[in-house]
Amino acid sequence: MSQYDIAVLGSMNMDIFVQVKDFPKNGENSFCEGIFPAPGGKGNNQAVSAAKFGKKVTMIGCIGNDSAGKQLKENLENRNIDTSNLLILDDIITSSCCAIIDKNGDNTLLVNMTANLALSEAHVTNVFNKIDVKALLVQMETSKESILAGLKAAKKKGIFTIIDPAPVNGIDEQYFHYADLIVPNSNETKFITNIEPTDEASALEAAKIIADKGVKNVIVKMGQNGCLLYQKGHSQFYPSMKVKAVDTVGAGDCFAGALASHFIEHDDLDAAIKFAHIAAGFKVSRFGGHDAIPTLAEINSVLTKYTELSYV
């Protein structure tokens, strides 16, 4: 039985980042500031984030037996992430994503799912029959069958399970009954509850609705407006750090990986949220993918000053 701190069940993409001053209008030809490829996918990003904070991570996903898939696998291995539980297929291409980022750091994503949707229930079930982990991170970018198989297996084995319900069109509320924690952003929260969280009061109202659907713990993320934790009938609001955002791509993934990493070590959601907030703050202040995720030393350098930081 192979042992890990965290298993990440999710997507792996080869991303193409396009920097623009402003998003082009329909039919408009315009110049861009730069174009470059980088490993991505929500699952991939979360695995790298958790591993960067010192945890032993295994990645459960699907890639094609092509150049992009080989690059993604090599990138994980270079970051000390286990790849023995990847499903590698000869007859499908590795998933890809185009991320267009404007001068404010806001982004629009176009994703070709291909291999991500080929992750099978049988493969996931087989993986959980041979691994022991402390926590499972799941997103909504692989097949529903694979997600449900992972959640059920984790529940049966008593593994702490965190759901990042993104993208919203992949959300199935039957997942909620298997989750220990869910971390929706504003858009995802509105999709689930019909309430747009913009402050502590609206976030609490929405969190109660989500909890009633079967999730034990809820963290509603509101970007620069902070986040709210709701558990066991009690809530706590956390303001966000004031930073100049240059690239918001992967910020939520950085948050999720940091949260899981800290929680399994300290069993304290309050402390884990503070840790994850700082990690995400560093991430959005830098342009780029995995290399923009901060180090443990960087976070610890400001963690003790958390209450003294400047907030929006």
**268 assigned ligand-binding residue:** no
66 labeled part of a ligand binding site: no
The maximal CA–CA distance of the chain, rounded, in angstroms, is 56
61 contacts 87 by C-beta, under 8 angstroms: yes
Tokens standing for 212? 């009633």
Nearest to 230 by CA among 257, 283, 193: 193
CA distances from 166 to 24, 62, 95, 303 (A): 25, 18, 16, 28
Flag whether 69 is marked binding: no
For the chain, what is the radius of gyration of the CA atoms?
A: 18
One-letter identity of residue 83: T
Say if residue 233 carries a ligand binding annotation: no
For residue 286, say whether it is annotated as part of any ligand binding site: yes
Query: Is 45 annotated as belonging to a binding site?
Result: yes
> Is 277 flagged in the annotation as binding?
yes
Long-range contacts of 228-234 (CB under 8 A, 24+ apart): 228/197, 228/200, 228/203, 228/204, 229/269, 229/270, 229/273, 230/204, 231/269
Question: Does the annotation list 138 as a binding residue?
Answer: no
Q: Is 246 annotated as a binding residue?
A: no
26 assigned ligand-binding residue? no
CA within 13 Å, CB half, 273: 23
Residue 111, annotated as binding a ligand: no
Gap between the Cα atoms of 47 and 49, Å rounded: 5
Among candidate residues 82, 164, 180, 253, the one labeled active-site is 253
222 marked ligand binding residue: yes
Whether residue 265 is annotated as binding a ligand: the answer is no
**DSSP at 311:** B
- Whether the link from the prior residue into 37 is cis, omega within 30° of 0, is no
Q: Is 8 annotated as a binding residue?
A: no
The DSSP 8-state label assigned to residue 241 in this structure reads B
| Residue spans of beta strands (DSSP E) within the chain | 2-9, 13-19, 34-40, 57-60, 62-64, 87-89, 95-101, 107-112, 131-138, 160-163, 181-182, 217-221, 227-231, 234-238
Whether 22 is a known active-site residue: answer: no
Determine whether the annotation assigns residue 270 to a binding site.
no
Q: Does 44 count as an annotated binding residue? A: yes
Q: Residues annotated in the binding site for K(+), as ranges? A: 247, 249, 283, 286, 288
Q: Residues annotated in the binding site for ATP, as ranges? A: 185, 221-226, 252-253, 277
Q: Residues annotated in the binding site, as ranges? A: 13-15, 41-45, 141, 185, 221-226, 247, 249, 252-253, 277, 283, 286, 288
Catalytic positions are: 253
Q: Residues annotated in the binding site for substrate, as ranges? A: 13-15, 41-45, 141, 253
